[in-house]
Amino acid sequence: MTATFTPKENSTLPAAWHRLTPIWQGGEEVIQQSLPHTHLAPTWQMLLLGDGSPTRHLELLTGEPTEVDVIDMSLIGMDSDAAPDLIQAVPGPRLRRQVWLRTASGQRLAYATSWWEASHVDEYLQNRSLPIWASLARLRTELYRDVRGIYHGYSAALQSGFEVPGPFWGRHYLFWHHGQPLTLIYEVFSPYLTKYLGPMQLSSTNGKV
């Protein structure tokens, strides 16, 4: 498959993808047990640790359609691409896709990088301007979202893109389809969402586990 992509002139991200430099991170055990509310508020845990569609959640929160700005589609072959180790579950050669998720009025809410088997990406992303959830929903694709990692940390590029200071919360997960891994996704959410979700952490005086 040959992928073609013309970067937007106003894109703030170069071709390399942007992962957080974590000040804290957790794996499957933390995800299954949940975090203390003084570390991550319940509303934010529902967004980050739940297995529902973040695109749909963002639409419900903002009352606006969630739109996608595709900023990179790169064939990376068998390169590990500095991705989470779970990239090995996605057959290669692979394609990396980077997007901003934003409201229809232009407010950026999240950044996402996903890795796909290059030969099958057109099958699932027939309209690449749609969020992944919308594309797969149109195909009536049955999926399981398997959250495997959560992060709290910084990224200068994402701070510039979101136009708000960090730290940021992010996660990575596998999409499973018919018992096979379909894509690996790494997402980071903007602190702008505190407008809808409230503070990211509850203070020790007003929130207990």
pLDDT of residue 123: 63
Residue partners of 10: CB distance under 8 A and separation at least 6? none
Domains of the chain are 24-193 (3.40.1410.10)
Residue pLDDT, tens place only, 19-59: 999 999 999 888 888 889 989 999 999 999 987 788 889 99
The Cα 203–Cα 207 span in angstroms is: 6
pLDDT of residue 136: 53
Residue pLDDT, tens place only, 123-139: 656 555 555 555 555 54
Residues (pLDDT < 70) of the chain are 1-15, 122-143, 203-209
**Alpha carbon of 127 to those of 23, 132, 143: distances in Å?**
36, 9, 18
Cβ neighbours, 10 Å, residue 88: 13
pLDDT of residue 141: 52
pLDDT of residue 84: 95
